[in-house]
Amino acid sequence: MTNIETLDKVDPVLDDGGDHDRFAHYVKSDKILPSAVEGTPLEALCGKIWIPSRDPKKYPVCPECKEIYEGFEA
């Protein structure tokens, strides 16, 4: 199970036209820096896999990620 303290919101890449690309997603915090340095893809709680390149503060949180994240708090 994922520890909620290790999750963070990261930005979407608007490239495949799907709804997942219109949201900021939650991922494990320890994966963000390696992704930024190495350019490796991240996997969101909802299952979306992408390489972040935009400011997550400009997008609403993915409803699927939010639901999963809130489930960890229970």
Please list the residues that pair with 26 across neighbouring strands: 9
User: What's the pLDDT at 66?
Assistant: 95
pTM to 2 decimal places: 0.69
User: What's the pLDDT at 10?
Assistant: 57
Domain that holds residue 18: 4-73
5-60: per-residue pLDDT in tens? 455 665 544 444 455 578 999 999 999 999 989 999 999 999 999 888 888 889 99
And the tokens for 13? Answer: 């890449």
Please name the residue that has the structure tokens 């993915």.
Answer: 62
Please name the residue that has the structure tokens 């390489």.
Answer: 51
Mean pLDDT score, 63-73: 91
For the chain, the domain total comes to: 1
